[in-house]
Structure 1
Amino acid sequence: MACLLLPIIYLAFISLGLPDSLLGAAWPSMYPALGVPLSWAGGISTIISVGTVISALASDRLTGALGTGKVTALSVAMTAAALLGFSCSTAYWQLCLWGIPYGLGAGSVDAALNNYVSLHYKSRHMSWLHCMWGVGASVGPMIMARALAGPGWTAGYRTIALMQAALTAVLVLSLPLWKRPQDSADGEGFTPEHRSLPELMKIPGVPQVMVCFFCYCALESTAGLWAASYCTLVRGIDAATAASWASLFYLGITAGRFVCGFLTMKMSDRSMIRLGQCVIAAGLVLILLGAGDGILFGGLILLGVGCAPIYPCIIHETPQNFGRALSMALTGVQMAAAYVGNCLMPPLFGLLAQSISPALYPWFLAALLAVMAAMSEALHRKTAGCA
């Protein structure tokens, strides 16, 4: 049963990535048609992010009530409806309205799927599944680019919405394959525990893992968003080349996660996390050297490769760190902390770059890496008894 379900989960992870890059790819064509300022993309993004945080925090009880399969199908259906709504929107306020189910559909399915995989599959599958997210995040803009060359951005959203609707049908048909923890046939059945956020924060290691997730996702999103600007404004590289170089960061993450799936067969999650942090540090050193464009090129790739194992491995070790019964509740809290980091820190760096200098880019990332590494080691010390 687990083998039959795995391809469906892979498809679900691709679907998670498909919508993530659409707004950025389509917005240059959307805002003139809607008659709004360029900066108003941030309003839609914020609405989606807030909805994602809320649904991630609620995922524990929602998954406990419905099960992972139904939550996944319902969430993908909500995302399909929201994308279809985007394709029919003719005013900015309509996009904001459809952004609500867009965000609510994303957080709960992310937490539910990640927890399910951490409970039922080995670490290599977590890495490969997050590699599939990267595939989806790469394919989405390609589909949108094709639409922009022809009928326009509405057709791009409509195409992704139809793909999500087809996946919803597949997920509904697969519902008998999904098993609940208490129904597990492998001798490891358990009843999930539900606790409030204040109660979870009292558990040793939980504050540390939340800060760790916050810093990691802040580092990843800031690195990706501002790489091209750093290359152009600080290193004097032309805009077209800088844009292509910025994509190397995401290519490094996607390719790195594919390779990490094999490395996890020989290395533990904790060793993989430390390895990723060391590779990020090496990438930052290359960027800080300022020794030439080739060195900068390599540094950006190493940043992405270093990020590759951290997120999936921290998620996968959650049952090991805090116990299987609490893993669903903790996964939702970790996802929420991650989304907050995604939402807050890239704009903060933007303010620093504007008021001080964009040359702070590698130093800002280094500060996030230092805090993340310290919290990761503190987490492992506090949960050593559970390992």
Structure 2
Amino acid sequence: MSSLLLAVIYLIFISLGLPDSLLGSGWPKMQAVFSVPSSYAGYVSMTISFMTIISALLSPRMIKHFHTKWITIVSIGLTIAGLLGFSMCSRYWMLFIFAVPYGLGAGAIDASVNHYVANNYSGSVMNFLHCFYGVGAVISPYIMALALKYARWNEGYSWTSYIQMFILFVCIISLPLWKTNGKEEEEDHSDSVGIKEALKVPAVIFTLIAFYAYCAGETTCFLWTPSYFAGTKSGLSAETIASFGSLVFGGLMLGRLISGFISNKLGDRRLIRIGIFVELLGIIMVFLPVESYMVAAAGFVVIGTGMGPVYPAIQHMAPANFGKKYSAAVIGLQMAAAYVGSTFMPMIFGLLQQKIGIAIMPTYLLIFAIINFGMLELTYSKIKVKPA
């Protein structure tokens, strides 16, 4: 029964990743249909992220009063509504209406399922969980590509919603499986605290800054890696440059896959330290003044591999660092800090590179890697609970 529940949880995280890549994949066609500038995708993306932040901040209260299974089902329903709404949009302004359920659903799933896994499963499971998020995020661009080839961009969203409907159906018929851990879940929630109380706990602020810094670097890589090669390496075709967008993402999946096998032996803190060290090694590779693009390309893969275990490990150790009483609120705050970093810092880098040049990218990444490492080490020094 426990193995079946775990399979359902992995499926839920595939559903979490599915909507995330659709806007970027379909925007070139959507932009032409709506007759708006290409930059207008950012406003839609920021609206989705803003609703996700709100949902993440509300998650501790929801987790305290509702089972994770019900939060998950309602949240997947919200994402389905958002996807179907996007598929029916004929005007640009309509996207903002359906961005509301689109973002609310994502934040609630992310925070509640991460909290459940952090309290009931090992670090290995947490790493594999985030690896399955990557599976969903990889699948959706191919769905959009098929839609653009054989239908319209609208079908990319509607076809993805049908997959989400199937996952929702699986979640509904698997409701009895949650009783396997139902007792522990209720005990975890009975005395859980809210956001204000969690913010008073020593070192929580430091872990939020660490999460913010991590996601600032990660999403900057996602958005600007192809532009880095276009601006610093000569003789590359447009197709080759575009393909470099998958370098860090592929490294992330590799890092989380490897971490899934070794995390239980190393522990969360050691895994994070090793991961950030590998990330710094990748940044140094990108820094090297080598004319060939291959060294820098390998460097971005190494950066992603190093980043891989950091996100899931920080969340998994929240109950050990701060206690189960505070874990729901802390994880909700972490998710909000993560989305703030991923929403604004790539945009700020875009403004900086316009003024200074795209070559500053490894320096930008280095700054946030150091902040991430420093804040986590400060967290460890402040908390009194020993690592699990």
Q: TM-score, normalised by structure 1?
A: 0.96
Q: What's the secondary structure of 2:260's corresponding residue?
A: helix
- Counterpart for residue 282 of structure 2: 283
Summarize the alignment of residues 199-238 of structure 1 with structure 2, pairs less than 5 Å apart: 199-236=197-234, 237-238=236-237
Aligned length: 385
- Counterpart for residue 26 of structure 1: 26
CA distance, structure 2, for counterparts of residue 193 and residue 238 of structure 1: 58
CA distance, structure 1, for counterparts of residue 242 and residue 376 of structure 2: 32
Provide, for residues 297-344 of structure 1, a one-character-per-residue CA deviation record: whole Å limited to 9, x for no partner: 210110110111000111110100000121111110100000000001
Summarize the alignment of residues 33-48 of structure 1 with structure 2, pairs less than 5 Å apart: 33-48=33-48
2:198 and 2:326 in contact (8 A); partners too: no
- Counterpart for residue 257 of structure 2: 258
Q: What's the secondary structure of 2:264's corresponding residue?
A: coil
- Counterpart for residue 131 of structure 1: 131
- Identical pairs, percent: 42
How far did residue 64 of structure 1 move? 1.7
How far did residue 364 of structure 1 move? 0.3
Summarize the alignment of residues 136-285 of structure 1 with structure 2, pairs less than 5 Å apart: 136-179=136-179, 183-184=183-184, 189-236=187-234, 237-285=236-284
How far did residue 181 of structure 1 move? 7.6
Letter in structure 1 aligned against 2:11:
L
- Counterpart for residue 341 of structure 1: 341
CA distance, structure 1, for counterparts of residue 101 and residue 6 of structure 2: 26
CA distance, structure 2, for counterparts of residue 230 and residue 64 of structure 1: 44
Letter in structure 2 aligned against 1:321:
N
Letter in structure 2 aligned against 1:205:
A
Provide, for residues 41-78 of structure 1, a one-character-per-residue CA deviation record: whole Å limited to 9, x for no partner: 11111110110000000011112222100000100011
How far did residue 178 of structure 1 move? 2.1
2:21 and 2:140 in contact (8 A); partners too: yes
Provide, for residues 228-278 of structure 1, a one-character-per-residue CA deviation record: whole Å limited to 9, x for no partner: 101111222433212212311111111221111011132111011001100
Summarize the alignment of residues 70-149 of structure 1 with structure 2, pairs less than 5 Å apart: 70-149=70-149
Moved more, 70-79 or 173-182: 173-182
CA distance, structure 2, for counterparts of residue 290 and residue 147 of structure 1: 41
Summarize the alignment of residues 365-380 of structure 1 with structure 2, pairs less than 5 Å apart: 365-380=365-380
1:321 and 1:383 in contact (8 A); partners too: yes
How far did residue 197 of structure 1 move? 3.2
CA distance, structure 2, for counterparts of residue 181 and residue 14 of structure 1: 21
How far did residue 184 of structure 1 move? 2.2
Provide, for residues 332-362 of structure 1, a one-character-per-residue CA deviation record: whole Å limited to 9, x for no partner: 0100000000001000000000111111100
The 1:180–1:326 alpha-carbon spacing in structure 2 relative to 1, beyond 3 Å, is: farther
Q: What's the secondary structure of 1:385's corresponding residue?
A: coil
1:144 and 1:153 in contact (8 A); partners too: yes
- Counterpart for residue 318 of structure 1: 318
Provide, for residues 177-215 of structure 1, a one-character-per-residue CA deviation record: whole Å limited to 9, x for no partner: 225988229xx9444444443432221110010001000
CA distance, structure 2, for counterparts of residue 264 and residue 244 of structure 1: 30
CA distance, structure 2, for counterparts of residue 63 and residue 358 of structure 1: 42
Q: What's the secondary structure of 2:19's corresponding residue?
A: coil
RMSD: 1.6
1:68 and 1:180 in contact (8 A); partners too: no
Q: What's the secondary structure of 1:343's corresponding residue?
A: helix
CA distance, structure 2, for counterparts of residue 82 and residue 361 of structure 1: 34
- Counterpart for residue 56 of structure 2: 56
2:64 and 2:189 in contact (8 A); partners too: no
How far did residue 170 of structure 1 move? 1.5
Letter in structure 2 aligned against 1:284:
I
2:256 and 2:309 in contact (8 A); partners too: yes
2:222 and 2:248 in contact (8 A); partners too: yes
CA distance, structure 1, for counterparts of residue 173 and residue 181 of structure 2: 20
Q: What's the secondary structure of 1:20's corresponding residue?
A: helix
The 1:180–1:201 alpha-carbon spacing in structure 2 relative to 1, beyond 3 Å, is: farther
CA distance, structure 1, for counterparts of residue 332 and residue 47 of structure 2: 19
CA distance, structure 2, for counterparts of residue 180 and residue 5 of structure 1: 8
2:60 and 2:195 in contact (8 A); partners too: no
